[in-house]
Amino acid sequence: MSLLFEPLRLRDLTVKNRVWLAPMCQYSSTDGMPDDWQLVHLGARAQGGFGLVLTEATAVVPEGRITPQDAGLWNDAQRDAWARVVDFVHSQDAAIGVQLAHAGRKASTYRPWAEAQGTVPAAEGGWDTLAPSAEAFPGYATPQEMTPEQVAAVPRQFADAARRAHEAGFDVVEVHAAHGYLLHQFLSPLSNHRTDAYGGSPENRARLLLETVDAVRAVWPEGKPVVVRVSATDWREDGLQVDDVAAVAKELAGHGVDLVDVSTGGVAPAEITVGPGYQVPHARRVREVSGMPTGAVGLITSPAQAEQVLVDGAADVVLLAREALRDPHWPLRAAHELGVKAGTSRRPAPDGQGIAWAPQYERGAWR
């Protein structure tokens, strides 16, 4: 038996295994509309055996996009376009979640392969950005400090997108509070220098995240799980530390959150020691302190390495990012390497093991 291929139940949703596709920006939309790129990108990973596939950071408002080419979920046309992707992923016996996001001061930037870098000017389709404080991320334009009214609008914006996500058929909502985007900007003392109820103490800096989760949970069906992605450390002595974020995760448990997806960094430049599984200890610590199920991500590449994360109790699920770009069928390969017999249309998977070949591809299972 492999822990990677054991099902995981969150509320009324049973995800067939614990190998999940991490959210990865695609920068390939026009006016926030998902299209054939998202269908093929997410659909291929569903075919490849991932139990849950998560969309790219999906903006809740136009000004919340990281780049002008980001996908969104702020109108019904986008909802209907996402429904096509959701239906195909479901047809491959996989679950699908949407990562809802607002980029804050890191919005309106050029996509990575553009010739220019930094903030996109209005003449090229950019816009003025918003943040907790009027302090720029290095290399980007200075944002406007959000007014109390603008802060109060954020939970409603996430809730409206979550309602559309349910209408589109998504199984999971993930609230993006990591990588230096808006909710992380409020959490971190490196980017939040407000003096009102949303700044200063750790409790005040966490207030907007908790209010946003409450607003999402209020419109999201009781039987469907909510996940929150956090950066467990800012990798700086004057920034968030893992126990700070673990305390927030513990509080999230009382606000209807079902799993914490643990990443790191992004709110400010920092020296990060990167290596295989370098973020796994943070997932373990958040899990230990908060009592919440966690997901681990970050240079997890081999099946044996991924399996060991779960065996060690460091996390409850493993999320793959760049490795999944290189190999859309990584779960099927992992099952073979770990000795798990993936099912086919003529031979179900062994009891309790959630991995199977699509009928069209099952010749690949013949040895």
Cα-Cα-Cα-Cα dihedral sign, residues 60, 65, 66, 72: positive
* Active-site residue (options: 110, 181, 198, 361): 181
How many Cβ atoms from other residues are within 10 Å of residue 240's Cβ? 25
Tell me, what DSSP letter sits at residue 152? H
Q: Is 198 a catalytic residue?
A: no
User: Taking a C-beta distance cutoff of 8 angstroms, is the pair 182, 64 a contact?
Assistant: yes
Closest CA to 15 of 54, 42, 59: 54
263 neighbors 220 (Cβ within 8 angstroms): no
For 69, the token pair is: 């080419």
Q: In Å, what is the CA distance from 289 to each residue of 178, 214, 225, 326?
A: 19, 22, 21, 34
DSSP for 9-60 reads: EETTEEES-SEEEPP------BTTB--HHHHHHHHHHHHTT-SEEEEEEEES
Catalytic residues: 181
